[in-house]
Amino acid sequence: MNFKSCYIEGLLVIEPDKFSDERGHFMEAYKTDRYISEGITCNFLQDGLSRSRRNVLRGLHFTRYKPQAQLLTVVTGVVFDVVVDLRTESETYGRYFSVTLDSKSGPNQLFMPEGFAHGFCVLSDWADLHYKMTQTYEPSNEYGLLWSDEYLAIPWPVDNPIVSIRDQKHMSFHKLLEKGVIPLLSK
């Protein structure tokens, strides 16, 4: 298993070992002691699954009152995954990190500590994602950051993304700051 640190502190791109033969493959998606040895000491409380088709773009979602860490696994397909650092004490506050996660030929897991907005777009015909989360889902705790925010300038690799009406209505980073949804930079 390969754990790779990113330029944003706390993020880890993970490539689990896969054992393949003519029948298919086996992958150990999570083993507590292995992840603890890499600094992932979270108490995961809820798992979630999502399925999306090509060109679907979801996000950028975050929780405000009960920040949650997530371990994301791309079970099938390929996604362009993005996280935005919303931790005011972080040197990379307001910056994003992106990675292509591929269930067949590359890293297929991303660990995000508390304090990030998350989104992805699907590059394959279908993609199935599995989430381990440290908070249970509460609609009143869910917020969003506009996926097409000019300040963030994320280079989404789809020309005509399929975006939910809810995600189209999210506010920009600076509008969320003005409204006090994202705390002001403390530096």
Distances (CA, A) of 90 to 8, 10, 81, 85, 136: 8, 10, 20, 8, 25
Query: Minimal CA–CA distance to 72: which of 34, 103, 105?
Result: 103
Q: Choose the catalytic residue: 35, 65, 131, 174.
A: 131
Q: Which of 25, 61, 65, 174 does the annotation list as catalytic?
A: 61
Contact call for residues 116 and 86 (beta carbons, < 8 A): yes
Active site residue 61: yes
Contacts of 132 (CB under 8 A, 6+ apart): 30, 42, 44, 46, 47, 70, 71
Active site members: 61, 131
